[in-house]
């Protein structure tokens, strides 16, 4: 297999498909910078295969990353990828636990915060009103902080899917021998197409009425939505996905089953996190 030539690829795409990949990627990267992220110490390559008897190993990538990095990489393999329809509720649970255990002086005790999330887990999974979880996010943590975290996670998942998809297109025998035993019902073809299908499911969420509540409270709403639009359009133009309703990536105002996470109310926490934010 010949060495990948970036310039030849760019020229071929421009000549054969009329796609100026460099220009479009530059715009996507620019808009990506408007997603507010807190930089924190993370494992850096937090994956299932690096979990040895409950302890994470392989720490050569340990360093400062966006606060959702480890969550995104850990859930990037099919065996641990959560259902897209459950993502907002699951991320809300994760975020409440994260806040409870990292906050040095939380408004409520750490144990109470964790208990509140656990007690509502069954209700949220059943589609019922997550009142207590909503109250913690709305009154104690801050709606905008959670919204920034959520859109950052979704962007990170899309980007990780693209990376994994590329790695699986021409896999080595060693890679397949290590990977396929974990997926007894997967053919190589299914494994190679799974991450692009996951991106399409993520975009089904992003273009649904629910998405209006994600974007309504995040920072830099217009630029963040344009990032997802530009990324989806490029994936479609390259023939990697068939994402529908991209035009609907615009602010929506009603009809979301997740409205409780973003109910109007106090937005505490923005000031305490402000000095940690970086685009």
Please give the pLDDT value at position 114.
56
Long-range contacts of 160-167 (CB under 8 A, 24+ apart): 160/72, 160/73, 160/76, 161/76, 161/195, 161/196, 161/198, 161/199, 161/202, 162/195, 162/199, 162/235, 164/76, 164/195, 165/192, 165/195, 165/196, 165/240
Ordered strands of the 63-66 beta sheet: 63-66, 37-42, 277-278
- Does the pLDDT value for residue 211 go beyond 90? no
User: Residue ranges per domain, the chain?
Assistant: 1-32, 35-273
Span 122-135, pLDDT tens digits: 544 444 455 667 77
Span 87-106, pLDDT tens digits: 888 888 888 778 777 765 54
Tokens matching residue 216: 């309504």
Span 105-161, pLDDT tens digits: 545 555 565 565 555 445 444 444 556 677 777 777 788 899 999 999 999 999 999
Split at pLDDT 50, 70, 90, the class of 15 is very high
Please give the pLDDT value at position 36.
94
């Amino acid at each position: 297999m010949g060495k990948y030539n970036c310039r030849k690829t760019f020229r071929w795409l421009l000549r054969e498909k009329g796609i100026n990949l460099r220009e479009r990627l530059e715009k996507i990267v620019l808009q990506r910078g408007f997603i507010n992220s807190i930089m924190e110490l993370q494992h850096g390559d937090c994956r299932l295969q690096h979990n040895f008897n409950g302890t994470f190993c392989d720490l050569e990538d340990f360093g400062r990353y966006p606060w959702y990095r480890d969550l995104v990489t850990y859930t990037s393999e099919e065996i641990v990828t959560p259902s897209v329809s459950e993502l907002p509720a699951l991320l809300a649970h994760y975020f409440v636990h994260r806040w409870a255990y990292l906050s040095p002086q939380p408004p409520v005790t750490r144990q109470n915060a964790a208990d509140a999330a656990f007690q509502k887990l069954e209700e949220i999974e059943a589609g019922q009103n997550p009142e207590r979880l909503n109250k913690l996010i709305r009154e104690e943590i801050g709606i905008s902080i959670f919204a920034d975290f959520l859109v950052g996670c979704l962007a990170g998942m899309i980007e990780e899917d693209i990376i994994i998809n590329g790695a699986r297109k021409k896999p080595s025998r060693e890679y397949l021998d290590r990977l396929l035993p974990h997926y007894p019902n997967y053919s190589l073809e299914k494994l190679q197409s799974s991450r692009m299908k996951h991106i399409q499911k993520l975009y089904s969420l992003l273009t649904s009425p629910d998405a209006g509540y994600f974007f309504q409270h995040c920072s830099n709403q217009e630029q963040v939505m344009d990032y997802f639009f530009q990324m989806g359009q490029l994936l479609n133009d390259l023939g990697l996905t068939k994402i529908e309703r991209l035009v609907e990536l615009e602010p929506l105002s009603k009809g979301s089953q997740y409205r409780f996470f973003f109910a109007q109310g106090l937005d505490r926490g923005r000031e305490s996190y402000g000095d940690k934010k970086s685009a």
